[in-house]
Amino acid sequence: MHPAAAYLERIARHDLSDFSPLVVCEQTLGSVNREWRERLLSCPSGLFARHGDALACTLQGDATMRSRQLGAAAEGWRDAGWLTGWRNEQFAAHGTNGELLFELERAAFRPLGLTSRAIHINGLTRQPDGEIRMWVGRRSPEKSYEPNRMDNLVGGGVAAGESLRDACLREGWEEAGIDAARLSALEPVCRLLAERPVARGLHREWLYVHDLWLPEGVAPCNQDGEFSEHTLLPFAEVEALLLEGRFMIDAALVAIDCLLRHGHWAGQAAPFVRVFAELREAVAGRIEPADALGV
């Protein structure tokens, strides 16, 4: 197997047998590991109970009331020292029909294994000879989370109440100094499901992938301190960084998908295609929060 395909398998496929389904509003919305299962069952809020092999969360009222109940419980987990990395940023949880079920502090999504959404933008520039190169960001050494790791041109979570377009505009300016004129018509080419155990619980996120073509001579410029630099690299150098484990995991999935779509592994694509068949979905048209796609 091609080394890059083997790497893709390692970062995309994981044993989740330790996780139990989490049922909220009569829908399976999350997955909880053993440690958090016991914590939630002992939670004084009384919101969680065993439901066969699953864990059930009983919330009352409309989305606003459900958000308050679960938010109060999450504050208790934080105060008990169970929950770290509090961001004061809300993510949205949607049902299978796209309805908003509740909003919850971003840091609490992983313990419950809830599905979040993020936008990722590949920056691409075509050289005069036709070669396609990729803009790769290096995270600042000052970042508390994964400093100096390699990243896509732009990547970030979609906040509650925020559209994919608004997230692209916000993150595109903050992380790369890309103005709205270049981003306003950008559409996702696909979405990828990133799912893996993490220290906090289960990371489960739909990555909405975009390709942004930048003319030769136009370079990104970080605005918020997220990145120390952006570098325009040949695909072969991007592949080398991937194999060295230099990329953040979600960014690696997005970069591999991009390289594959643009023919980097022509003639060797079969093992990549098999993995992405499990992760990749087409996206038709503009996706707004009401359409959810967060399940």
Q: What is the mean pLDDT of the chain?
A: 93
Q: Are 235 and 264 within 8 A, CB to CB?
A: yes
Q: Are 31 and 294 within 8 A, CB to CB?
A: no
Closest CA to 154 of 88, 291, 250, 280: 250
Q: Is 114's pLDDT higher than 70?
A: yes
User: What confidence score (pLDDT) does residue 284 get?
Assistant: 63
Q: Is the pTM of this model over 0.75?
A: yes
Distance CA 22, CA 48 (A): 9
Edge-to-edge strands of the sheet including 27-32? 27-32, 20-24, 54-57, 48-51
Distance CA 35, CA 111 (A): 9
CATH number of 20-112: 3.30.750.160
Opening angle at CA 214, ends 154 and 132, nearest 5: 95
Q: Are 116 and 205 within 8 A, CB to CB?
A: yes
User: What confidence score (pLDDT) does residue 97 get?
Assistant: 87
Q: Is 221's pLDDT higher than 90?
A: yes
> How far is residue 73 CA from its own chain's centroid?
24
- To the question of domain 3-13+116-291 being in CATH 3.90.79.10, the answer is yes
The ranges assigned to domains in the chain are: 3-13+116-291, 20-112
Question: What confidence tens digit (pLDDT) does each residue in 256-267 have?
Answer: 999 999 999 999
Longest dimension (CA), the chain: 65
Of the pLDDT bands very low, low, confident and very high (cuts 50, 70, 90), residue 98 is confident
Question: What confidence tens digit (pLDDT) does each residue in 7-48 have?
Answer: 999 999 999 999 999 999 899 999 999 999 999 999 888 899
User: What confidence score (pLDDT) does residue 293 get?
Assistant: 34
